[in-house]
């Protein structure tokens, strides 16, 4: 009989993962799934040809994320954390949204199995790329002086 080592995930030994209720809720009822027609910006993170990826769409109004939708090909961790990321980002200024990290998503989720922590990066990386694309599409601001 093997022993569970300190720091080992519960369920790891049996080869399954334990998701908390919030993650299960966001996996089974993901928020803000889908596409935005004519978005202000979009991004694709990951590789659609061979692995997990997320496609994100954003709209920006008055300097804030007014809408943020996603489509993903990934595991329950990717789906649930992408859903949580949309809720965290909508309503934030672009600067605030750029400061969001995968740790913020994991914290808002109430934790995620360690082996799935990387999945929480997908939507946040996509969001940051979409914001950068949006900002680079804006005309240069007039010089003050
Ligand atoms: Fe690849 Fe979660 S998205 S393991």
**Boundaries of every domain in the chain:** 21-137
Q: CA 139, CA 3: separation in Å to the nearest integer?
A: 61
Q: What is the pLDDT of residue 115?
A: 87
> At the topology level of CATH, where does 21-137 sit?
Sufe protein. Chain: A (3.90.1010)
Phi first, then psi: give them for residue 4, nearest 5 degrees. Answer: -85, 125
Alpha-carbon dihedral sign for residues 114, 115, 118, 122: negative
Q: Which of 71, 78, 117, 124 to mutate to test the pocket of ligand 1 (most atoms within 8 A of CB)?
A: 78
Question: Rounded to two decimals, what is the model's pTM?
Answer: 0.86
Give the closest residue (by CA) to ligand 1 atom 4. 75
Structure token pair of residue 91: 């309503």
Atom of ligand 1 nearest to the CA of 76: 2
Per-residue pLDDT of the chain (145 residues; tens, 9 = 90+): 445 455 455 555 556 788 999 999 999 999 999 999 999 999 999 877 778 899 999 999 999 999 999 999 999 999 999 999 999 999 999 999 999 999 999 999 999 998 888 888 899 999 999 999 999 999 887 665 4
């Amino acid at each position: 009989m093997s022993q569970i080592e300190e720091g080992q995930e519960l369920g790891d030994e049996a080869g399954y993962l334990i998701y908390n209720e919030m993650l299960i809720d966001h996996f089974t009822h993901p928020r803000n799934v889908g596409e935005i027609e004519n978005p202000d910006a979009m991004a694709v993170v990951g590789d659609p040809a061979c692995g997990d990826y997320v496609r994100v769409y954003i709209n920006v109004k008055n300097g804030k994320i007014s809408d943020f939708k996603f489509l993903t090909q990934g595991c329950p961790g990717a789906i649930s954390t992408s859903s949580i990321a949309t809720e965290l980002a909508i309503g934030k200024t672009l600067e605030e949204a750029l400061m969001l990290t995968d740790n913020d998503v994991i914290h808002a989720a109430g934790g995620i199995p360690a082996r799935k922590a990387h999945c929480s990066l997908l939507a946040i990386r996509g969001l940051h790329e979409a914001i950068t694309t949006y900002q680079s599409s804006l005309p240069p601001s007039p010089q003050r002086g």
